[in-house]
């Protein structure tokens, strides 16, 4: 019985995949145009710079290392403070040393993971939130012309959240003794990369 | 059981065959769905993230706060939406307002921080959001499906709130609430960004 069900499921998945290949060439599903493009531009934006990727993955890794409730409180606070940073950029409020701030974020978060530092929850939230402002300021204000601000914003925030998710998923290795070592080594790598970015930002 | 499996396979083959007979262009627009004004209203809501996300956010928040919140909002939000739509339908144009941004921000924030506000305050806020969104829906549907389209929207809001709120309120798993709160922060962050875009467009 199980075999029959499995083969049927397999057939359905195969047919669904084949159906996708035959999807209509044009899907005009709404009055506004370029909606999907805006969303995918936004979702891919946080993945466009290695400094951002490392810092955001590091947030997830650190959260996984700290465990509950930091596991989800850090990914909650980061996008909101990032949006605050983006809003500051949009309103033209000057924030000095953006690139340095981004590089230092990777450095500090890397060191936190390397040293398995466990500050009180509020302190870790403040650290993550502070650095999120720099990331938001740098990247949240770059809306390509002709694209939907709403869908770009949603894509941008979801893209950032996915990077935290990647960090959290990798961070689950923390439950094994060897995984802890690997996680700390990852922190060392992120810290080193942060130092490199800092050097690039200063020189 | 074997016959049942064959039936499913047969259904899958039929679905696949029908799918490859799709036209080259898939038009789901209000005018071209051809399903009547009620479904045009439904499609309008489901394809407009500015409206859809606040409905989902309100439903999730009510589910997180318990059944009492869900019971009231089930009727308050669709009615407010419909009444706002009627006002919009019969009134003149309003200047562009960042109403969607504020809805995102308000209910995203409430979900993210899991703030418990009194049920009357929640219902008032939700009614205000529903009326505002409904108003602009009413204006948008003037030239299309009209009042019947607004009924479609109202019914869809009711169904979405009923399903989402019920699913969230019966779920007692910690990780579900955690994920919902993370998503709330995403909605709030999107709202904040959209508010920023609006203000920048206004001052430049």
Among B24, B190, B193, select the one facing A26 at the smallest CB separation: B24
Question: Domain locations in chain A?
Answer: 34-202
Which structural domain, as residue segments, surrounds residue B152? 30-203
Q: For chains A and B, what is the number of CB pairs under 8 angstroms?
A: 139
Angle at A116 between CA A112 and CA A119, to 5 degrees: 70
- Does any domain span residue B135? yes
- Written as one string, the DSSP assignment of A164-179 is HHHHHHHHGGGGSHHH
- Does any domain span residue B108? yes
Q: What distance in Å separates residue A179's CA from the closest CA in chain B?
A: 23
Tell me, yes or no, if the pTM score tops 0.80: no
Q: Report A:92-151 residues touching B (Cβ under 8 A).
A: 140-141, 143, 149-151
Is the Cβ pair B16, A19 closer than 8 Å? Answer: yes
Per-residue tokens: A72: 């989800």
Interface contact A17, partner B, CB < 8 A: no
Is the Cβ pair A82, B189 closer than 8 Å? Answer: yes
List strand residue ranges (DSSP E) for chain B, in order. 25-27
Is the Cβ pair A30, B47 closer than 8 Å? Answer: yes
Tell me which chain B residue has its CA closest to the CA of residue A72.
Answer: B178
Per-residue pLDDT at A87: 87
How many domains does chain B contain in total?
A: 1
Distance (Å) of CA A62 to CA A57, A59, A137, A187, B163: 9, 5, 22, 9, 35
Residue appearing with tokens 């890794």: A61
Per-residue pLDDT at B58: 95
Per-residue pLDDT at A122: 92
Phi/psi region, residue A116 (left: phi>0; alpha: psi -120 to 50; beta: rest), is left
Per-residue pLDDT at A72: 87
ipTM for the predicted complex comes to 0.76
Per-residue pLDDT at B132: 93
Per-residue pLDDT at A30: 46
Q: What distance in Å separates residue B63's CA from the closest CA in chain A?
A: 19
- Does any domain span residue B8? no
pLDDT tens by residue, chain B, 204 residues: 455 577 787 887 877 777 766 555 555 554 555 677 888 888 888 988 899 999 999 999 999 998 889 899 999 999 999 999 999 888 877 777 788 889 999 999 999 988 889 999 999 999 999 999 999 988 888 877 778 888 999 999 999 999 999 999 988 788 888 899 999 999 999 999 888 888 877 666
Residue appearing with tokens 């899907």: A27
- Does any domain span residue B5? no
Residue B97: list chain A partners with CB under 8 A: none
Q: Are the C-beta atoms of residues A79 and A130 closer than 8 Å to each other?
A: no
Q: What SS3 class is residue B27?
A: strand
Regions of chain A where pLDDT drops below 70: 1-8, 10, 17-37, 140-141, 143-147
């Amino acid at each position: 019985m199980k075999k029959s069900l499995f083969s049927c499921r397999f057939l359905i998945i195969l047919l669904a995949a084949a159906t996708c290949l035959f999807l209509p060439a044009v899907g005009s599903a709404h009055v506004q145009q370029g909606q999907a493009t805006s969303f995918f531009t936004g979702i891919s934006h946080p993945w466009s710079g290695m400094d951002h990727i490392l810092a955001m993955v590091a947030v997830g890794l650190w959260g996984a290392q700290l465990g509950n409730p930091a596991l989800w409180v850090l990914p909650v606070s980061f996008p909101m403070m990032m949006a605050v940073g983006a809003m500051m950029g949009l309103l033209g409020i000057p924030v000095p040393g953006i690139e340095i701030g981004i590089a230092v974020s990777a450095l500090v978060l890397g060191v936190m993971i390397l040293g398995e530092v466990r500050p009180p929850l509020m302190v870790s939230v403040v650290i993550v939130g502070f650095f999120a402002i720099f990331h938001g300021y740098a990247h949240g204000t770059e809306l390509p012309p002709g694209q939907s601000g709403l869908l770009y914003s949603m894509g941008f925030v979801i893209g950032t959240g996915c990077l935290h998710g990647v960090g959290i998923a990798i961070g689950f290795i923390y439950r094994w003794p060897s995984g802890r070592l690997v996680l700390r080594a990852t922190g060392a790598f992120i810290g080193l990369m942060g130092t490199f970015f800092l050097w690039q930002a200063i020189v | 059981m074997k016959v049942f499996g064959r039936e499913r396979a047969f259904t899958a083959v039929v679905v696949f065959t029908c799918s490859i007979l799709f036209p080259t262009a898939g038009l789901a627009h209000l005018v071209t769905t051809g399903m009547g004004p009620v479904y045009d209203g439904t499609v309008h809501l489901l394809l407009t993230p500015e409206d859809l996300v606040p409905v989902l956010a309100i439903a999730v928040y009510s589910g997180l706060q318990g059944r009492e919140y869900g019971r009231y909002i089930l009727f308050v939000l669709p009615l407010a939406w419909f009444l706002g739509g009627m006002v919009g339908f019969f009134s003149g144009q309003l200047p562009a307002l960042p109403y969607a941004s504020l809805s995102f921000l308000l209910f995203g924030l409430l979900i993210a921080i899991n703030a418990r506000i009194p049920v009357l305050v929640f219902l008032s806020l939700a009614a205000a959001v529903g009326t505002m969104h409904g108003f602009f829906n009413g204006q948008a549907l003037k030239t299309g499906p009209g009042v019947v389209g607004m009924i479609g929207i109202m019914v869809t809001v009711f169904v979405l709130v009923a399903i989402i709120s019920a699913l969230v309120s019966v779920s007692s798993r910690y990780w579900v609430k955690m994920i919902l709160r993370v998503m709330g922060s995403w909605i709030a962050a999107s709202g904040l960004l959209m508010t920023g875009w609006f203000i920048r467009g206004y001052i430049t």
